[in-house]
Amino acid sequence: MATSALPLLPPSSHSHISTSTATTTATGGESLRSLPKPTLKTPTVRSLLSRLCQEGQPHLARQLFDTITRPSTVLWNTIIIGFICNNMLDEALLFYSRMKRASPDVQFDSYTYSSTLKACAETRNLRVGKAVRCHFIRSQPNPSKIVYNSLLNMYSACLNSAENDVGGLMDFDYSVNDPVRRVFDRMHRKNVVSWNTLVSWYVKTERYMNAVKQFWTMVKTGIGPSPVGFV
């Protein structure tokens, strides 16, 4: 299965942070008191949150996040991605739900949706994945390729798991109703990740002729195959 990597977050402007940072106690015996108070001479808050997540302390990053008066979308995304990178997928989905409850005060972007769909794929949570899809369709009339690719991956992973649980992929007639193909056809711009996910999906569902046909269609469109496509 072709999976899309988590996106790199774009640079962010400074966010407001409250003075309660110095008195908040984190789990594991470490205190936020030990962290440098953000000033113009220290890294941005996002950089600090990212560093904590990279060091395996996403809960500490979340506690620091909780002291921020008006967190930006980028900061919300940083915590979601931090949980995912630390294999705390359920926490990532819960934080997305919290972000959704905070709207319309906070806006969602492609990084929010693609990261959350990644968590849905990893946890095989089709129900939440469908809810995320409905959310971004309402808020983004023209979703980006990264969101569509994440949606393709989510359906492929979750449907694979769901059908295996009830007796195998071939028990379901995907020639009549194929969510992965339907999402693929809605995409105006496709890249090699999109094609690889579709080809891999056909192989999973044992539609080998379709997989070969789509592989050569991809080549004819001018998109060079990657090693994943050959595998």
CA distance 71 to 215: 44
Task: Compute the distance between CA of residue 84 and CA of residue 81 in angstroms, rounded to an integer.
Answer: 5
CB 145 within 8 A of CB 187: yes
Give the chain's residues under pLDDT 70. 1-43, 161-172, 226-231
CA distance 200 to 149: 13
Task: Supply the pLDDT for residue 29.
Answer: 46
pLDDT for 217: 93
Q: What is the pLDDT of residue 228?
A: 56
Tokens matching residue 123: 């946890």
What does the chain look like in DSSP terms, one character per residue?
---PPPPPPPP-----B-GGGGGPBPGGG-BGGGSPPP-TTS--HHHHHHHHHHTT-HHHHHHHHTTBSS--HHHHHHHHHHHHHTT-HHHHHHHHHHHHHHTTSS---HHHHHHHHHHHHHHT-HHHHHHHHHHHHHH-SS--HHHHHHHHHHHHHHHHHHHHHTT-GGGS-TTT--HHHHHHHH-SS--HHHHHHHHHHHHHTT-HHHHHHHHHHHHHTTPPPPHHHH-
The pLDDT, as a whole number, for residue 172 is 65
User: Which pLDDT score, from 0 to 100, does residue 171 have?
Assistant: 56
29-32, Cβ contacts within 8 angstroms, sequence gap of 24 or more: 30/57, 30/60, 32/60, 32/63, 32/64, 32/67
What is the structure's pLDDT at 12? Answer: 46
Q: Residue 32: its pLDDT value, please?
A: 53
